A and B are shown apart, each in its own frame.
Chain A
Amino acid sequence: MIAVSNLTRNIIIEKYGINPDKVVTVHNAVEPLENRESLKREKSIEDKIVTFLGRVTLQKGPEYFVEAAHLVLQKMKNVRFVMAGSGDMLKHIIHRVSALRMGDRFHFTGFLKGEDVFTMYSLSDVYVMPSVSEPFGISPLEAMQSNVPVIISRQSGVSEILEHAIKIDFWDIHAMADAIYGILQYDGLSSMLRSNVKEEVDNLKWENAAMKVKEVYNAVL
């Protein structure tokens, strides 16, 4: 049995009672991006942009993103938050945003697809994935392909393989806010992350994952 992360592997072992020897982890990879340059768009505003991109559902932890945004906005003004995606929690989130009186700084794009997704990444200064539970989570890797620093929850499979990412617990809105603030405010951090994320993500190739699957297959034969 092949799991996409140790997180999933543990669930398989603990919740389904499968013999650990039978479960192997092979992490996901990401498709290299062609002609990325054409997707780049000039930013029309000077403010920094912090992005959440994904289904707006309980599992993705969008409400933690909203609370963290609220904290950040108390300390700095030249920043905007974007929630891209739709889902059953969207109404609830919009209510919360308006209740916190930060509608002028918090934007919703609705569901994005195709090139719009990459355009969104290229406009972002930080990408946040606060998932409550995520077997793997490929979206941070796509953000990293566009040279965007990422903040990911420890409760995601992808956090097992990334070094040049800031990892937080999804419920720890203070840590999340602090990380967002740090990346936006301290040049050393954003430049350090920017110079490393691309290289790190480019080393995650499907070929390597395929090789591992082949190894597993051969071992079973």
Chain B
Amino acid sequence: MRTICLYFQIHQPFRLKRYRFFNIGNDHYYYDDYMNESIMRKVADRSYLVANKVLRQIIKEYGTQFKVAFSISGIALDQFELYAPDVLESFQKLAKTGSVEFLAETYSHSLVALKDKNEFARQVDEHRQRIKHYFDMEPTVFRNTELVYSDTIGADVADMGFSAVLTEGAKHVLGWKSPNYMYCNALNPRLKVLLRNFRLSDDIAFRFSNQAWSEFPLTAEKFVTWLNKMDRKEETANIFIDYETFGEHQWLESGIFDFLKALPGAVFRNSKFTFATPSELVQHLQPISSISVPYPISWADEERDLTAWLGNDLQKDAFNRLYSLTEKVNRCTDLRIRKDWKYLQSSDHFYYMSTKFFSDGEIHAYFNPYESPYDAYINYMNVLSDFSIRLNALVPETNTDQEIVNLTKVIDEKQELIRKYEVELKRLRSSKAKITSVHTIKPSAKKAGKPAGGKKTLKRAKPGPVKKVTVKNVKKTSRVKKNK
């Protein structure tokens, strides 16, 4: 059985507004709502909704014979909820068809995997919960931001319990090997690695409407003949592309939607290929060998490395500055801080600072709100300065001292409680002793009965208010902790 594995990536960042240094300390809202909303709305109308409609038609016709996988970043989901609930709804409809699988990634579409294992796991977990919440599915396959992958990242992903990971079939990693098989991680062979066939993927994603391309125009039939030309033993063609390819990178007028519509029919008619999702590949295929990726790769640019995000001093400085805050943010429970922390991590912010922009302009300029990488850097650093000021206010610098203060406060309060209880206990004991003494001296019961009864009600009534007091105290301490 030979398969096509279609996988689409969806992400939109929260772009920052023009944030001057005068805003630092005064203005704590960082996002350009107008731009974010208008871009999301535009892409939703031109791409997501139209493509989803096409997919629904395909699934209506071919049922579960047709399979497709999506990865939607947590930030994109947030934006759907804010600006395009209709898109979210249409994905939910797709999810119910049984032909669609959702993959896990980092919530923020971040590059945290390169920096901090714990924070990485936390973000992936948060994204997993999101997917469960919206689509009622538990992702078992992982894809990292921009398909960034290395042996160690793979090992971390395996530790999180995923069965497979998607990455780029980069030439310098594969050498003579083919991307059309399933591989496994070099450190933990239980994690399978699916590699993107960049030639077939880019034929659709980049070259489709290029009239200077020798294969222009590309039809579904022609594409299937290429699939048929694959070596007989090769098992899968992994087509991993941005979902915005449909309608946004390649316009409606280029016929990209007709191509998508015609592809399943052409595949079923003219070839023995079937469609499969990544998790199905994991079940059906055997890994052919392990693949060693000592240095991180990605699907970006000609080099397939990290230089688009972490290539120059601007990017490295901003990236390190951001993640130097990790520990502090983890000790902070403020909801707005947590949210900004997520949004500031989007890899896009670093992408805008790329100086490859000068030579490799076209793709880097896409939806880029800045005029130059320097502009992007200054703006981001201003925002980050304000963010760390807020963070420092909530989480004091000398944190061990603060911790000790907090703990001693808690201990003091507990001690106060214990003292109270002890008093209470003494009183109860003495009253109990009185009751028993009343019981032993029966003859005087009538006279002594009344005060004893009074004590009894007191005894029952007391625990109530005491408990309430403790609850209040506990609440107070926790509130104090939060504020600090």
Contact = CB atoms under 8 A, between A and B. Distances in A.
Interface of A: 71, 74-75, 163, 166-167, 174-175, 177-179, 181-182, 185-189, 191-193, 195
B374 A178 contact: no
Interface stretch (B20-28, B270-278, B335-343, B409-417): B20-28
B22 A74 contact: yes
Among B22, B371, B374, max chain A CB count under 10 A is at: B374
27 contacts: A71-B22, A74-B22, A75-B21, A75-B24, A163-B358, A167-B371, A174-B20, A175-B20, A177-B21, A178-B378, A179-B378, A181-B21, A181-B378, A182-B382, A185-B381, A185-B385, A186-B377, A186-B381, A187-B317, A188-B314, A188-B321, A188-B377, A188-B381, A189-B377, A191-B317, A192-B355, A192-B374
Closest 7 CB pairs of A and B: A188-B317, A182-B378, A192-B313, A181-B21, A186-B381, A178-B20, A188-B314
A121 B374 CA distance: 22
Contacts of A192: 312-314, 355, 374, 377
A1 to B, nearest CB: 30
Question: Counting chain B CB atoms within 10 Å of each CB, which of A71, A74, A181, A193 scores highest?
Answer: A181
Nearest to A178: B20
A90 to B, nearest CB: 28
Interface string B299-322: 000000000000011111110010
B321 to A, nearest CB: 8
Given A163-B358, A178-B382, A195-B313, A189 B22 contact: no
Given A182-B21, A185-B385, A192-B355, 20 more contacts: A75-B21, A167-B371, A174-B20, A177-B20, A178-B20, A178-B378, A178-B382, A182-B377, A186-B317, A186-B377, A188-B315, A188-B317, A188-B321, A189-B317, A189-B377, A191-B313, A192-B314, A192-B374, A192-B377, A195-B313
A135 B24 CA distance: 36
A186 B371 CA distance: 19
Contacts, number: 65
Contact of B378 (A74, A189, A191): A189
A194 to B, nearest CB: 9
B20 A188 contact: no
A178 B382 CA distance: 9
B372 interface: yes
Contacts of B372: 166-167
B116 interface: no
A181 B378 CA distance: 9
Contact of A193 (B321, B374, B375, B382): B374
Contacts of A75: 21-22, 24
B375 A166 contact: yes
A152 to B, nearest CB: 12
Contact of A182 (B313, B371, B381): B381
A74 B20 CA distance: 13
Nearest to A181: B21
B130 to A, nearest CB: 32
Contacts of A189: 314, 317, 374, 377-378, 381
Contacts of A167: 371-372
Given A177-B21, A178-B20, A188 B316 contact: yes
Contacts of A166: 372, 374-375, 378
Interface string B3-41: 000000000000000001110100000000000000000
Nearest to A175: B20
A186 B382 CA distance: 9
Contacts of B375: 166
Given A167-B372, A188-B316, A192-B312, A174 B377 contact: no
B369 to A, nearest CB: 15
Nearest to A76: B21
Contacts of A177: 20-22
A55 to B, nearest CB: 27
Contacts of B358: 163
Which of B313, B316, B381, B382 counts the most A-chain CB atoms under 10 A from its CB?
B313
Contacts of B321: 188
Contacts of A174: 20, 22
Nearest to A149: B374
Contacts of B385: 185
A188 B371 CA distance: 18
B147 to A, nearest CB: 26
B482 to A, nearest CB: 30
Contacts of B315: 188
A189 B381 CA distance: 10
Contacts of A195: 313
Interface centre among B21, B315, B375 (most CB of A within 10 A): B21
A182 B22 CA distance: 12
Contact of B21 (A178, A188, A191): A178
Nearest to A74: B22
B22 A186 contact: no
Nearest to A71: B22
Contacts of B21: 75, 177-178, 181-182, 185
Nearest to B377: A189
Nearest to B318: A188
A87 B381 CA distance: 37
Contacts of B312: 192
